[in-house]
Amino acid sequence: MTIKSIETGGVRTPNNLFCAPLAGYTDFAFRKLCYSFGAGLCFTEMVSAKGLLYKNEATRALLHKGDGEGQTAAQIFGRDPAILRAACESEDLAAYPVVDLNMGCPVPKVVKNGEGSALLNEPRLAEKIISECKKSGKAITVKFRIGFSQEKKVAAEFAKLCEGAGADLITVHGRTREKYYAGEPDYAQIAAAKRAVAIPVIANGGVFSGADAQKMLDETGADGVMLARAAMYNPHVFAEILGAPPEWDKKAAIEGQIEDMLPFYGEKFTLVQMRKMTAFYVRGMRGCAAYRSRLFSAESIAELRTLLDEIFSEGRAQE
């Protein structure tokens, strides 16, 4: 893949491999791991602007930033321009020089509130949101899908709208809302968005390897790629795309996440989170399918660590 830095509203990233905002996954400890493997820019989990307005502690916790993260961007969502601007200007986002506006989330509970990808159907409101948030002085990026439905793809038009409203960078997910995460991304729509604007365009969707990343760049002309599920299953994918061999010390990575999370989240949340992350990371290792049920029934961090010792004791190789 062609590697280059990206300029985003005065913030320069070391490369053009971005980690997507992933609800339930991209907490500060996971982002730290991705940065250690070479990710150029990571995003927080999707954060409710209204939740920040009402000082919701669970919402605010999503913005916790750890040491060694790099230039993390915060992603927020909502539909009220004034509330979204207030979130950008709040103390909660003071540590984040880049704020990403979510206009692509496809899940029903978000869409029914007129948020996420529902904003693709309200271009004037989307434009107002971007222009208001830009007044905060933050670098503003926008993540959106190529359309709400297969019958109405609007990637180029929406890209121009974002640029005109002041966005510094856009990320285009190459699927419509109705497609969720299924099927091959629509390279032509991403390419049309790229041709329509002068600001950087990051392509998202279906990138799981270096070959996928290069194909995405070749097909779309985009400035970089954003990895989502690939990073969730294998955060080392950033290093692999940058030229590192595929082997990585999974046990050390898991232990590192546990150690980072425990002081902030406590044992209960850390255990639940790391049971599922461990299941992702050891997937494909010889004999590890037998450990899956034991992983999800572990009742303490100590029990989880005992399982890790068993899983990695024989140096099981990747299959």
Distance between CA 201 and CA 260 in Å, rounded? 33
- The single residue of 88, 105, 133, 288 carrying the catalytic annotation is 105
Q: What is the pLDDT of residue 180?
A: 81
The pLDDT value recorded for residue 235 is 97
Residues 6+ apart with CB under 8 A from 256: 29, 32, 33
What pLDDT, on the 0 to 100 scale, is given for residue 314?
Answer: 60
Binding residues for FMN: 75, 143, 173, 204-206, 228-229
pLDDT at 69 over 80: no
Can 105 be counted among the known catalytic residues?
yes
pLDDT band per the 50, 70, 90 thresholds, residue 319:
very low
Provide the annotated binding site.
75, 143, 173, 204-206, 228-229
Per-residue pLDDT at 271: 97
Instruction: Using alpha carbons, list the distances in angstroms from residue 47 to 26, 56, 109, 247, 311.
Output: 11, 11, 14, 33, 35
pLDDT in tens, 81-134: 999 999 999 999 999 999 999 999 999 999 999 999 999 999 999 999 999 999
Model confidence at 18, in pLDDT bands (50, 70, 90)? very high
pLDDT digits (tens, 9 = 90+) for 48-66: 999 999 999 999 999 999 9
d(CA 296, CA 298) in angstroms, rounded, equals 6
User: pLDDT by residue (tens digit) across 159-173?
Assistant: 999 999 999 999 999
pLDDT of res. 288: 77
For residue 256, the surrounding DSSP H or E stretch is helix 250-281
pLDDT at 290 over 60: yes
Mean pLDDT for 257-270 is 96
Q: Across all residues in the chain, what is the average pLDDT?
A: 94
**3-state SS class at 211:** helix
Range 22-33 average pLDDT: 95
Lowest mean pLDDT segment, chosen from 16-25, 164-173, 304-313: 304-313
Give residue 78's pLDDT.
97
Asked whether the predicted pLDDT for residue 317 surpasses 50, the reply is: no
